[in-house]
Structure 1
Amino acid sequence: MKSRILTTVLAVTLLAGCAGEAPPPAAVPPAPQAKPSAPPVTSTTPAACAEVVAQLSDRQRLAQLLVVGVDPGDPAAAVRLVRDEQVGGVFVGGNPTALLRDGALDRVQQAARFGVSVAVDEEGGRVQRIDQLDGSIPSARQMARTMSVAQVRALGGERGRQLRARGVTVDYAPSLDVSSQPDDGPIGDRSYSADPAVVRDYGIAFAEGLRDAGVTPVFKHFLGHGHAQGDSHSGGVTTPPLAELRAADLRPYEAVAGFAGGAVMVGHLTVPGLTDGQPASLSPAAYRLLRTDYHFTGPVLTDDLGAMKAITSTYRLPDAVLHALLAGADQALWSSGGDVGPVLDRLQQALASGELPAARVTDALSRVLRAKHSCG
């Protein structure tokens, strides 16, 4: 079993087009104590996964539920992070490309005892990571206006092969946001269309291309950012009421349940009639809706918890991560990197006290490991 783990490589996690680069403010008041609100356990642990889980310490189990931003210009730092903390995933943001060249990500994988997912946000248009290396691709809106669905699937496949050749295993794309915003709006040309059917068809096609190439697509931003007011990078964001989201913004997600091999990212969206004033990324009701009404059984990730003011203006990072896992996230993402220790310390305390139920950790861990092909 140990050799099987060591030879296992890659695969899932998690906008980093929504992921900013700045660290959270230093003086944020402590968040309220997270309350246990265990969502329904929706996966069972296969025997092969149970064998892997049994080999992990509590801290290692919790580390697998984290996706941490790394400096794309400092491959050695990424290797140290994975070697020392054994996090489940890393996110490569920003414009430097050292980590995406010369086999640098191979060395990161070699430092992971259980495989590590390597994520970027490669949507096309203004949200790209390998355009300086492999050329630019159009924005989602331009794709839908100028290409057929089949052509977009082929484009997704080609981009996926380029990503995979550089060591990337996860793409935070496609955006399933339904929007008529101007091109430069918070979503804008990152949306395929204002028509939910067009968004569904083109988004699924791009995702199929990525999956065909061995890259895990991540559908975002559940429950729909396209008609929301505000930008979560700079503050809170409020969507229309849930009934209106069901009629338009959520319609593309009706196709996601039948898509094998993908993940979903939950946005920092306050939804009247659902999240009770909380961002969806920290709301048990949002994850429950995705699991029960939209029947998604794969991994679910948060949007960036460490560099977006919709979260950092209220929550310290360790508390935000704990709230997200309690709410139902399988992995918590923050792009700003830094010391993982305080986050793991907070999670270990919560696990030991029962504040974070062990069943919730096992449920999330099973999905994470299977998505990386580290077990059953």
Structure 2
Amino acid sequence: MRNELPIGRRGGPKTGTRTLLVCTALGALLAAVLHDPGREVGGHPVAAPALSPTAPVTTTTSAAPPPPPPDPCVAKVASLSARHRLAQLLMVGVDPRGTADALALVRGEQVGGIFIGGDDTGLLSGGLDAVRGAATVPLQVAVDDEGGRVQRVDVLDGSIPSAREMAAAMSPDQVRVLARDRATALKNRGVSMDLAPVVDTSGQADSTVIGDRSFSADPAVAAQYALAFAEGLHEVGTTPVLKHFPGHGNTSGDSHRGAVTSPPLEVLRRTDLVPYRDIDRYGRVVVMLGHIDVPGLTNGLPATLSPEAYALLRGEFGFTGPAMTDDLGAMRAVTDRVDLPEAVRQALAAGADIALWSTGGRTGEVLDHLEAAVATGTLPATRVDEAARRVLSLKNAC
């Protein structure tokens, strides 16, 4: 019987030694390859063993947003003479009986807009194409056609109800359709701007200064119907004018007849100012300021002449479109205080972009006064340029 080694000791000491030598050699070879990955072994290159890759660290830099395109109205304004630039900020009443007065005004001074008031419909029955043709910069043609007791083409195109009657008997969508149809009639007669809708809140009697011109004493309802009216005008391309900021619906009297005071600013924030919140919902509009002394805001001035009133409109309410005055030439809240040329200067310097007077005439005198004011710095040239850019942009004149 042969002598057998126990399992686990087979191969004896020599086998264990050989195994130890082989392991030692392989370890040395691996160390050499790691030290020199390009080393050849037995005439053949030996690749380094693959190591777990480490994800590269990348740094990303956010690209700066592209600069906004240049405002084409800047160059357009700069191309106008100083007097023509000022004239673009004026909306002047013209004789509604025919074209002669409007043609002379536009040809002579190149005003930015004309206002057609009164009950005579001669100019609205034809001739506005010729007046527009006399303007070297597109002309704005405005009427105040709210409905009820304030409308201009009822004799020609039928009457529409007052704002209060609309809200009582019609849905907002029906008001939108009514405004669209009215804007179509106005456009066909050459009108591009309607000084409507009234967004004042009022529960006062129909015959008071605002009264039935207001859709509702409830600011949410007033805003809803004013928005519908504005949307209808927009459908035809007619520019709406929201009025009378900061709020004429609850004033102490009629600014046509003398100075008026509204409730304090904090009260207006809960009433007449509510429809101006989220003002972008109305689309491209003009906002008309009223001749209203607001305690806590205007320091005894009518809002049309108050820098604080324009700052409120631009700041708290974020309005970026043109701001227009109420009539500076025929309303005693202003005319009892200051003469027309100086009233226009004060309004523009305070922040107005469009100065309106319905009585016509005196345009050359006003422009002379404004030119002198720019020269002396009482009407800053930067303020004129800012206003002109807004006006020209609204008219797509750039």
- TM-score in terms of structure 2 length: 0.82
Match of 2:123 in 1: 99
Shift, 1:230, TM fit: 0.9
Q: Could you tell me which of 114, 117, 140 is aligned with 1:90?
A: 114
Identity in percent:
58
Task: Give the distance between the partners of 1:352 and 1:299, measured in 2 at CA.
Answer: 24
- Assess if the C-alpha contact under 8 Å between 1:199 and 1:252 holds in 2: yes
Match of 2:240 in 1: 217
Q: Could you tell me which of 280, 287, 296 is aligned with 1:273?
A: 296
Task: Give the distance between the partners of 1:255 and 1:307, measured in 2 at CA.
Answer: 32
Counterpart of 1:293 in 2: which secondary structure?
Answer: coil
Deviation per residue, 1:308-359 (Å, 9 max, x gap) = 0000011000000000001000010000001211100110001111221111
- Assess if the C-alpha contact under 8 Å between 1:222 and 1:266 holds in 2: yes
Q: Could you tell me which of 65, 74, 82 is aligned with 1:50?
A: 74
The gaps in structure 2 that reach 5 residues or longer are 1-67
Q: Could you tell me which of 259, 264, 273 is aligned with 2:282?
A: 259
- The one-letter code of the counterpart of 2:80 is L
- Assess if the C-alpha contact under 8 Å between 2:92 and 2:359 holds in 1: yes
Match of 2:372 in 1: 349
Counterpart of 1:220 in 2: which secondary structure?
Answer: strand
Q: Could you tell me which of 315, 333, 338 is aligned with 2:338?
A: 315
Shift, 1:77, TM fit: 1.1
**Structure 1 residues 173 and 46, CA, compared in 2 at 3 Å: closer, same or farther?**
farther
Provide the aligned C-alpha RMSD in A: 1.1
Shift, 1:46, TM fit: 4.5
- The one-letter code of the counterpart of 1:223 is P
Deviation per residue, 1:227-272 (Å, 9 max, x gap) = 1111000000100000000011110111323322111000000000
- Assess if the C-alpha contact under 8 Å between 2:252 and 2:262 holds in 1: yes
Deviation per residue, 1:269-313 (Å, 9 max, x gap) = 000010000000000000000001011111100000000000001
- The one-letter code of the counterpart of 1:90 is I
Q: What pairs up with 1:72-151 in 2 under 5 angstroms? A: 72-102=96-126, 104-151=127-174
Moved over 3 A (4+): 44-47
Q: Could you tell me which of 290, 306, 315 is aligned with 2:329?
A: 306
Q: What pairs up with 1:154-173 in 2 under 5 angstroms? A: 154-173=177-196
**Structure 1 residues 221 and 178, CA, compared in 2 at 3 Å: closer, same or farther?**
same
Deviation per residue, 1:85-109 (Å, 9 max, x gap) = 000000000000011013x111110
Structure ID, larger Rg: 2
- Assess if the C-alpha contact under 8 Å between 2:230 and 2:282 holds in 1: no
Task: Give the distance between the partners of 1:340 and 1:46, measured in 2 at CA.
Answer: 33
Counterpart of 1:203 in 2: which secondary structure?
Answer: helix
Task: Give the distance between the partners of 1:272 and 1:109, measured in 2 at CA.
Answer: 42
1:61 aligns with 2:85: yes
Task: Give the distance between the partners of 1:217 and 1:151, measured in 2 at CA.
Answer: 17
Task: Give the distance between the partners of 1:288 and 1:53, measured in 2 at CA.
Answer: 23
- The one-letter code of the counterpart of 2:85 is R
Task: Give the distance between the partners of 1:144 and 1:46, measured in 2 at CA.
Answer: 43
- The one-letter code of the counterpart of 1:86 is Q
Match of 1:244 in 2: 267
- The one-letter code of the counterpart of 2:159 is S
- Assess if the C-alpha contact under 8 Å between 1:149 and 1:201 holds in 2: yes
Match of 1:291 in 2: 314
Counterpart of 1:126 in 2: which secondary structure?
Answer: coil
- Assess if the C-alpha contact under 8 Å between 1:141 and 1:192 holds in 2: yes
Q: What pairs up with 1:171-190 in 2 under 5 angstroms? A: 171-190=194-213
Task: Give the distance between the partners of 1:214 and 1:342, measured in 2 at CA.
Answer: 33
Shift, 1:371, TM fit: 0.5
Task: Give the distance between the partners of 1:142 and 1:99, measured in 2 at CA.
Answer: 29
Counterpart of 1:94 in 2: which secondary structure?
Answer: coil
Counterpart of 1:119 in 2: which secondary structure?
Answer: strand
Q: Could you tell me which of 342, 345, 359 is aligned with 1:336?
A: 359
Task: Give the distance between the partners of 1:129 and 1:45, measured in 2 at CA.
Answer: 41
- Assess if the C-alpha contact under 8 Å between 1:216 and 1:263 holds in 2: yes
Task: Give the distance between the partners of 2:348 and 2:206, measured in 1 at CA.
Answer: 34
- Assess if the C-alpha contact under 8 Å between 1:70 and 1:335 holds in 2: yes
Match of 1:191 in 2: 214
**Structure 1 residues 196 and 125, CA, compared in 2 at 3 Å: closer, same or farther?**
same
The gaps in structure 1 that reach 5 residues or longer are 1-43
Shift, 1:45, TM fit: 10
Task: Give the distance between the partners of 1:255 and 1:217, measured in 2 at CA.
Answer: 16
Task: Give the distance between the partners of 1:322 and 1:121, measured in 2 at CA.
Answer: 24
- Assess if the C-alpha contact under 8 Å between 1:45 and 1:366 holds in 2: no
**Structure 1 residues 138 and 255, CA, compared in 2 at 3 Å: closer, same or farther?**
farther
Task: Give the distance between the partners of 1:136 and 1:254, measured in 2 at CA.
Answer: 31
